[in-house]
A and B are shown apart, each in its own frame.
Chain A
């Protein structure tokens, strides 16, 4: 499991961020002592550091520079300073990414995972096992007992959206938000059409009732 070090002086943000990231599958370390933060950061052997800029004792930029002298650990600067100059400074000091507060938590997660992918050349699983069939992300298809079913971009996104929250109901709005995050700006009708097409494709291949409709609530992957 990837360990994230949160360097943030605001207690609430620190705690909530820890909870949020833990819920999303990371382990978190959030030190409270800022006097020895540089030594701590290096010895903590984290996989990623989320670094605030306005900190007691040492400025975030200084911490960033000092860490960079000794370590290549990825650093994402999270700050409420939002001028281009701040972003440039952060990048010049060796930060891997720059996010301004107040951030969208989904964007934060996406940035973290993209840094992980880039830095650790993470072998992202591109195959999801859904019991009776598997989704192959890189080929955009479903493998059902050796039968391959090609999926369109939208259909693939719908299926992964349902897969990520399997065993629970995914509302239409949530599903749409999931698609919109990937810049597929579908409207209500298009979503209905896409789901129907996807169902038909699955049924044609013999996969019946994979996507269950929960009337008035949304969809669920069986």
Chain B
């Protein structure tokens, strides 16, 4: 708050007192003809000083409060908490403003919490649902196992697709609370890749895709479950878009000073240049997604989100008939000492 602004607000007060001073001066001038100038000065100066003192005191108080308020508002990123951070004023107008501000902030936070709770409840329901639906999937798979024939084998394929979608739902609903459900530990990349390969062995064998693993005897630090999900998603894509005899998926790891890079390369149909920048976007399916099997455009989006949460870097590179997905896992030299 500037002095000029303050004074322009107080213009009526100033004019009133100035006018009163003028009138009293004029009366004195008229009534006491001799030596009136001295008397006028003697009367008017204390009057004007007296009129100014409350202005100065009030300006000071207001300046302290409002400048603090503006400072807090401009400098803190959580604007909803402004009222909590400002010192309570000791003048009426300020108190009113302060109370109203606190009241609205409180109402605002309550509103936010309402939606937070709604979202949390929904997430919990989804998780519950996923757990529930796993039981019938498990029993169906057992039933198929015990009654193997052409029909049930075909049903099994579909059940496994359902299982995949259910898993995706699970991971998606957990995206916003990754921090509540992860344990960073040493991950042996060859174990992780082998587990993913085994998980998809049926597709690999059926589509006659060869697997090559190179330099996977590398360890990194990450959450096993989430990383496995990410790698699995990439492998599923690589299998889905393999299109020829001699299809091949290469798993390769490389160590650098501060990171470990896991590369998964396939020789499938590749990703057109126009699409590659957007494959990690939510719901993006691209030319391949539309031309081949129907896709939801969620898989790589979830991967990207998970990587962001886990502090991993994921990137894609593609030529006409090869796609490379790289996952960069940070490696802290501290961990080596331990």
Interface residues of A (CB under 8 A from B): 10, 12-13, 16-17, 19-20, 23, 54, 80-85, 101-105, 173, 176-177, 180-181, 183, 185, 187-188, 190
The 6 closest A-B pairs by CB, nearest first: A16-B142, A102-B138, A187-B210, A80-B134, A185-B211, A12-B139
Nearest to B141 among chain A residues (CB) is A102
Which residues of B are in contact with A by a Cβ distance under 8 Å? 131, 134-135, 137-139, 141-143, 145-146, 163, 181-183, 194, 197-199, 201-202, 204-206, 208-211, 213, 223, 225
B89 to chain A: closest CB distance in Å?
Answer: 49
- Which of chain B's residues has its CB closest to A174's CB? B205
Given contact pairs A54-B131, A84-B183, a sample of 8 additional A-B residue pairs in the complex whose CB atoms are under 8 Å apart: A10-B139, A12-B142, A12-B143, A20-B145, A101-B137, A177-B202, A185-B204, A187-B208
A144 to chain B, nearest CB (A): 31
Q: Is the CB of B145 within 8 A of A105?
A: yes
Given known A-B contacts A10-B135, A101-B134, A185-B197, A17 and B210 have beta carbons under 8 A apart:
no
Q: Is the interface of A mostly helix, strand, loop or mixed?
A: helix
Interface contact tally, CB-CB below 8 A? 76
How far in angstroms is the closest Cβ of chain B from A54?
8
Q: What chain B residues lie within 8 Å of A13 (beta carbons)?
A: 135, 138-139, 142
A16 to B138, CA, bound (A): 10
Please indicate the chain A residues that have their CB under 8 angstroms from the CB of B209 in the complex.
187
Contact sample, A vs B, 12 pairs, CB 8 Å cutoff: A16-B146, A80-B131, A81-B131, A83-B181, A101-B134, A101-B135, A177-B201, A180-B201, A185-B204, A187-B208, A187-B210, A187-B211
Closest CB-CB distance, B142 to chain A, in whole Å? Answer: 4
How distant is the Cα of A104 from the Cα of B195 in the complex, in angstroms?
Answer: 12
Instruction: Determine chain B's interface SS by DSSP, over half rule.
Output: helix
B211 to chain A, nearest CB (A): 4
A125 CB to closest chain B CB, in angstroms? 25
- For residue B75, give the distance in angstroms from its CB to the closest CB of chain A: 39
**List of A residues within 8 angstroms of B213 by Cβ:** 185
* Alpha-carbon distance between A19 and B143 when the two chains are bound, in angstroms: 9
Q: Which of B198, B210, B213 has the most CB of A within 10 A?
A: B198
Residues on the A chain within 8 Å of B163, using CB: 102
Residue of A nearest to B251 (CB): A185
Q: How far is the CB of B171 from chain A (nearest CB, A)?
A: 11
- The residues of A that contact B131 with a CB separation of less than 8 Å are 54, 80-81
A73 to B69, CA, bound (A): 68
- Contacts A80-B131, A105-B145; is A173 near B206 (CB within 8 Å)? yes
Q: Tell me the bound Cα distance from A10 to B137 in angstroms.
A: 12
Whether A19 lies near B211 (C-beta < 8 A) is no
Whether A101 lies near B205 (C-beta < 8 A) is no
Q: Which of A17, A84, A104 contacts B182 (CB 8 A)?
A: A84
Chain A neighbourhood of B134, CB < 8 A? 80, 101-102
* Assembled-state Cα–Cα distance A81/B134 (Å): 9
In whole Å, how far is B41's beta carbon from the nearest beta carbon of chain A? 85
